[in-house]
Structure 1
Amino acid sequence: MTPFAANVPASETCPLYVDLDGTLTPSDTLYESVMLFIRRNPFNLLRMLAWLLLGKAGFKQRLAGAVRPDPARLPYNERFVQFLREERARGRPLVLASAADVRIVREVAAHLKLFQDALGTNARGDGLNLSRRHKRAAIEAHARASGHDRWAYAGNSRDDLAVWEGSSQAVAVNAPPSVIERLQKIHAQARVFDRVPLSLLTVLRAIRLKQWSKNALLFVPLLAAHSLDPHRWAMVALAFVAFGLCASATYLFNDLLDLPNDRVHRIKRHRPLASAAIAIPTAVLLGVVMMVLAFVLAFAVSTAFAALLLAYTATTLAYSMVLKRLALIDVLVLSGLYTLRIAAGAVAANLVLSNWLAAISIFLFLSLALVKRCAELEELDDERTTLAPGRGYQPRDLPSLRAMGMASGFLAVMVLALYIDSQNSEMLYANPEWLWAAAPVLLLWVMRIWLKTGRRELHGEDPLQFALKDPFSWMTLLAMGAIGLAATTGL
């Protein structure tokens, strides 16, 4: 960073006008407002399309009149904010100047308590979108009215170059290299707060690549049917990739809709979208591309598989927008989505899904969905908290949810025991009596994960992700596989 006005007396320091979107916050309040409005009602997207006819200022005015992001839940560039605090402490006038709707700008300024004034787009005033030359003119007029003939500006984008051309001093925050290069031709001594480049690791975290492990459930019907057909395995492998891309896209859309809640969550606030490490438009584009690729692969598998993937997508989006906030409905939907993966694997492999397998899946995954809800509620230490953020539960629901979850897990084991004594197991296994050893192994795993939930050892984590890092869970899986092999071979 280049030194900037380090020894200038406060009386000689020109006012600093600060951009909001991309500068003060790494996010964009317009996109934040759009996501909030869609979350309120998906059909609001049609209303926004009509508002585009009003022009930029009119669109922002209508949108801000309907919904505005909470300044307390916005991410901020902390190093830059600290710089602003230091400038204010030595008497420098600070003004927040943004192309965002003036109401949003004023609310952010009031929240941070750093700025003496706020300038923003006001459709009811001059009707101009406060960007580029319009922002420069507004800043010049404001500075003159305040008794200053010199002023400084802090921005981040190509649009800010027109503003910097009229400023006496310049600060660039989170600006791309091409903008920095052009800025330094105007202000060689511009102060630069470096941009954090978007890395592949950040993208992989945003699409939650590790969650692809859940899609291994697509291979369960092949294993249950003891199929070694390479064509069937190839089709399920293709289906696995399609499901992974689709699931990653829906995770992105879910995170976009849940930004305010994620930012107050102890763990989720570090996600790439919640922390604004990845921009909202980038996430939307990435999600759309992955969704298109997912359905191209799905149709390559079969039309029936593509139909199931469409059902999964629709259910997941409905869950993100509405169903996740409905107590009990949410865990039933989660259980159904896991079972849908198994059904999709059967369709991709051209196999008939066993009713026994479907029943075990529904009860087992309902238990795990309830594990996740209980782990989240255990995180709420303050019993006066009414609801978990974005959920329909209260801390006093914990005993009931625990009882439901443990009962559901035990029912999964009971269905397994009934299957062992059925005609289906006699047809598939040379020695099905070996399968009785699987019942206590699965029962032990279910009891253990509930015990760890009660001890708050899951820390609100997804139980399947916990299991992937848990040596005991891997030992359980190996034991179940060995028991299944023994029952198959008759050893």
Structure 2
Amino acid sequence: MREGILSLHPLVVDLDGTLIHTDMLHESALRALRDNPFDTLRIPFWLLKGKASLKKNLADRTDFDATSLPYNQDLLDWLKQQRAHGRKLILCTASDHSIATAIAEHLGIFDEVMASDGATNLAGKHKAETLEERFGHAGFDYVGNSRADLAVWQCARRAVVVNGSANLARKAGGYCEVTHVLPSPGRGFTTWCRVLRVHQWMKNLLLFIPLFAAHQFTSPDTWLTLFLAFISFSLCASAVYIANDLLDLESDRQHPRKCKRPFASGLVPAWIGVALAPLLLLASLTLAQHAGGDFLPWLLFYFVVTCGYSWGLKRIILVDCLILAMLYTLRIVAGAAAAGMGLSFWLLAFSVFLFLSLAFVKRYAELEVQLLNGKQKTHGRGYYSSDAPLVQTLGIASGYAAVLVLALYLNSDAVVKLYRAPEFVWGAVPVMLFWVSWMWMRAHRGEMHDDPLVFAVKDKASLLAGIVFAGVLAIGTVGWPW
């Protein structure tokens, strides 16, 4: 953005959606929901006293980290230039005064803070009247982002439009001179895929595992049922991912990669997530009813467990990894329920140990990142960076336990009934030994993605191991043609 003409007129800057890519009222409400759920029941009563009262009560009951907010860096750099040229900067926001003050103190570029005080909601006409009374008509320049700021631009000398549409800029230009326009970052198809975490849907292919394990490939009705179950489970998982992202904003912002997630970065407003998650869940439940079998109860159980994980279980050491392993295994159980199939002890035992190992991989990778960044404790988790060696040991032991279960299964009578050439199936054991060891080797070297399954589908060695594993099982099933 080009530098504006030096002016002695003060530059008044809005906060929500302008200086930061988020809304502090929405974030305060989400923190209250996470930390003090019963306080959210009091929101309607606070709102009866006015929006300013609501903001003050939420601000008084929640904490936030001003250093981790998604600031509009382009605007912030321009404001620093204006201040360097002697311009007086004023932060004027409808957010509560305590929040605005904390942000101003962190940035250190504002000469004054004007904000809601619990009685007056400093937005729209109230903000315009306050600024006009203080500086006079056309006695200041104003930086804003929404239709509510049009009332302020009517009494401003110049306008800077940030994160607003072209139509908003035209309307602002009808009241005063628009000197700068900073367009909002685009939200294309890729952004919405990231919001839904579509790449995580591949985990739900686990629903088909019982079908393959039982060698029942010929029923079109079963395939259709599992397909509906897959879509239903995926939509439910996306709803939970959104809820988890909204409740974990501060922790994500302190992570080198998670800080780029759509909600954490402010690319997508939090209110969209609040509206989208229930719609996804409703669509998921509707499809689940058509999937048949006992799929719906297991889907609801998955939803309840994941909500418990998001609200607090993920902050309890070891329990978080056990819950993650359970959530992976629940997908297999739900697939069997949808298809009306039974589950063997061997498949459940193998799944629990394998997914527990992968859960420990995920946590170990996060601890390694924290250690490299010089942090002794992970934000929003119960682990210390020094716990990494123990987590590694537990994870490797769990992975090898899964391989042991697989080896014992191959010595059972069930293998003889399912496979024509069971001796070939033993080749799956060294493949699994290699893959478990390989995953932990990559994690130890700091090369592991936050999610090991996402890493595995992109890793050539893992893909090759998967092909060999499937090939060995296929040969064992149909026999070797000689």
Report the counterpart of residue 273 of structure 1 in structure 2.
263
Identify the range of structure 1 (240-249 vs 64-73) with the bigger mean alpha-carbon deviation. Answer: 64-73
The within-5 A match list for 1:204-353 is 204-228=193-217, 229-302=219-292, 304-353=294-343
- List per-residue Cα deviations over 1:422-446 (Å, max 9, x = no partner): 1221221222222211111111111
Give the deviation of 1:48 after TM superposition: 2.3
Report the counterpart of residue 431 of structure 1 in structure 2.
421
- The alignment status of 1:483 with 2:472, answered yes or no, reads yes
Provide the rounded CA distance (Å) in 2 between the counterparts of 1:381 and 1:420. 41
Give the deviation of 1:37 after TM superposition: 1.2
- List per-residue Cα deviations over 1:147-183 (Å, max 9, x = no partner): x971111111011101100111111111123322211
Contact 2:160-2:178 within 8 A present in 1 as well: no
- List per-residue Cα deviations over 1:274-297 (Å, max 9, x = no partner): 110001011222222211111111
Report the counterpart of residue 362 of structure 1 in structure 2.
352
Q: Pick from 429, 433, 457: which aligns with 1:468?
A: 457
Q: Secondary structure at the match of 2:115?
A: strand
Provide the rounded CA distance (Å) in 1 between the counterparts of 2:444 and 2:65. 34
- List per-residue Cα deviations over 1:365-401 (Å, max 9, x = no partner): 0001111111111123369733112211112222221
Provide the rounded CA distance (Å) in 1 between the counterparts of 2:432 and 2:132. 72
Structure 2 length-normalised TM: 0.96
Contact 1:4-1:189 within 8 A present in 2 as well: no
What letter is aligned with 1:87? Q
Identify the range of structure 1 (421-430 vs 185-194) with the bigger mean alpha-carbon deviation. Answer: 185-194
Provide the rounded CA distance (Å) in 2 between the counterparts of 1:198 and 1:160. 23
- List per-residue Cα deviations over 1:45-75 (Å, max 9, x = no partner): 2132332222211111111111143211111
Contact 2:370-2:377 within 8 A present in 1 as well: no
For structure 2, list consecutive stretches of 5 or more residues without a partner in the other structure.
Answer: none
Give the deviation of 1:345 after TM superposition: 0.7
What letter is aligned with 1:422? S
Provide the rounded CA distance (Å) in 1 between the counterparts of 2:27 and 2:58. 11
- List per-residue Cα deviations over 1:283-318 (Å, max 9, x = no partner): 222222211111111111126211111111111111
Report the counterpart of residue 446 of structure 1 in structure 2.
436
Contact 1:467-1:474 within 8 A present in 2 as well: yes
Contact 1:15-1:151 within 8 A present in 2 as well: yes
Provide the rounded CA distance (Å) in 2 between the counterparts of 1:411 and 1:139. 68
For structure 1, list consecutive stretches of 5 or more residues without a partner in the other structure.
Answer: none
Report the counterpart of residue 130 of structure 2 in structure 1.
138
Provide the rounded CA distance (Å) in 2 between the counterparts of 1:85 and 1:374. 40
Provide the rounded CA distance (Å) in 1 between the counterparts of 2:407 and 2:378. 37
Provide the rounded CA distance (Å) in 1 between the counterparts of 2:64 and 2:373. 27
Q: Secondary structure at the match of 1:43?
A: helix
Give the deviation of 1:31 after TM superposition: 0.7
The within-5 A match list for 1:399-414 is 399-414=389-404
Report the counterpart of residue 81 of structure 1 in structure 2.
76
Contact 1:15-1:95 within 8 A present in 2 as well: yes
What letter is aligned with 1:80? L
Provide the rounded CA distance (Å) in 1 between the counterparts of 2:257 and 2:90. 34
Report the counterpart of residue 32 of structure 2 in structure 1.
37
What letter is aligned with 1:103? S
Provide the rounded CA distance (Å) in 2 between the counterparts of 1:198 and 1:141. 39
Contact 1:172-1:192 within 8 A present in 2 as well: yes
- 1:42/1:355 CA distance change after superposition, 3 Å: farther
What letter is aligned with 1:170? A
Count of residues in Structure 1 that have an aligned counterpart in Structure 2: 479
Q: Secondary structure at the match of 1:380?
A: helix
- List per-residue Cα deviations over 1:171-224 (Å, max 9, x = no partner): 111112332221122224442112223212111112111011111101101111
Report the counterpart of residue 371 of structure 2 in structure 1.
381
Structure 1 length-normalised TM: 0.94
Provide the rounded CA distance (Å) in 1 between the counterparts of 2:393 and 2:399. 10
Q: Pick from 164, 183, 188: which aligns with 2:172?
A: 183
What letter is aligned with 1:381? L
Q: Percent identity?
A: 42
What letter is aligned with 2:166? P
- List per-residue Cα deviations over 1:86-129 (Å, max 9, x = no partner): 11111111111111111111111111111111111112xxx221
Provide the rounded CA distance (Å) in 2 between the counterparts of 1:51 and 1:61. 9
- 1:449/1:240 CA distance change after superposition, 3 Å: same
Q: Pick from 408, 412, 430: which aligns with 1:418?
A: 408
Contact 1:61-1:101 within 8 A present in 2 as well: yes
Provide the rounded CA distance (Å) in 1 between the counterparts of 2:298 and 2:53. 42
